[in-house]
Amino acid sequence: MTPFIKKALANTSWLVSEKVISMSANLLVSLALARSLGPEGFGSLSYLIALVALVAPLAALGLNAIITRELVNDPDNRDKIIASATFFRLIGALTGTLVCVLLAVNGWGVSSDVASHGLILLAIANIFYAFNVLEFWFQAQVAARQVVRMRLSVILIFASLKLVAVAMSASLLTIVAIFAAETLVLGIGFVVIYSFYASPIRVSSVDFSYGLGLLKQSYWLILSGIAAVIYLKVDQVMLENMVGTEAVGIYAVAARLSEVWYFFADAVVITLFPALLALKKKQLFDAYQVKLQQISDLLFVCAFIIAIAVSLVAKPAIVILFGQEYLQSAFILQLHIWAGLFIFMRALVSKWLLSEHLLAFSLLSHGLGAVINVIANLMLIPLYGAKGAAIATVFSYFIASYIAFWISPKTRDIARIMSRSLLLPFTLGHRYWPKQTNEIS
Query: Which amino acid is located at 329 in the chain?
Result: S
Mean pLDDT of 354-376: 87
The model's pLDDT over 130-162, given as tens digits with 9 standing for 90+, comes to: 998 888 888 777 677 888 899 999 999 999 999
- Give the range among 173-187, 301-315, 394-408, 424-438 with minimum mean pLDDT: 424-438
How far apart, in Å, are the Cα atoms of 393 and each of 78, 125, 239?
41, 29, 12
The model's pLDDT over 287-317, given as tens digits with 9 standing for 90+, comes to: 888 888 988 999 999 999 999 999 999 999 9
The model's pLDDT over 176-219, given as tens digits with 9 standing for 90+, comes to: 999 999 999 999 999 999 999 988 998 889 999 998 888 887 77
Decide: 84 and 214 in contact? Cβ < 8 Å.
yes
Q: Is the pLDDT of residue 282 over 90?
A: no
Predicted confidence at residue 438, as pLDDT, reads 46
Predicted confidence at residue 240, as pLDDT, reads 93
Domain locations along the chain: 1-206, 247-428
Q: Where are the alpha helices (DSSP H) in 168-284?
A: 172-197, 208-242, 245-259, 262-281
Decide: 218 and 61 in contact? Cβ < 8 Å.
yes
At residue 409 the predicted structure's pLDDT band, cuts being 50, 70 and 90, is: very high
Better-predicted residue by pLDDT, 112 or 403: 403
Predicted confidence at residue 2, as pLDDT, reads 59
How far apart, in Å, are the Cα atoms of 271 and each of 143, 161, 227, 334, 436?
17, 34, 27, 29, 33
Q: Is the pLDDT of residue 107 over 50?
A: yes
Q: Is the pLDDT of residue 275 over 80?
A: no
At residue 406 the predicted structure's pLDDT band, cuts being 50, 70 and 90, is: very high
The contacts found for 87-91 with CB under 8 angstroms, 24 or more apart, are 87/203, 87/206, 87/211, 88/61, 88/63, 88/211, 88/214, 88/215, 89/59, 89/60, 89/61, 89/63, 89/130, 89/131, 89/133, 90/127, 90/130
Predicted confidence at residue 7, as pLDDT, reads 60
Decide: 56 and 97 in contact? Cβ < 8 Å.
no
Predicted confidence at residue 75, as pLDDT, reads 82
Predicted confidence at residue 1, as pLDDT, reads 55
Predicted confidence at residue 441, as pLDDT, reads 35
- Residue among 235, 160, 234, 144 at smallest CA distance from 197: 144
- Per cent of the chain over pLDDT 70 is 93
Predicted confidence at residue 100, as pLDDT, reads 94
Mean pLDDT of 321-338: 94
Predicted confidence at residue 440, as pLDDT, reads 39
Whole-structure pTM value: 0.85
Predicted confidence at residue 12, as pLDDT, reads 63
Mean pLDDT of 17-35: 89
Q: Is the pLDDT of residue 437 over 60?
A: no
Query: Which amino acid is located at 240 in the chain?
Result: E
The model's pLDDT over 210-237, given as tens digits with 9 standing for 90+, comes to: 988 888 877 777 887 788 888 778 999 9
HSE-CB of 367 using CA atoms within 13 angstroms: 11
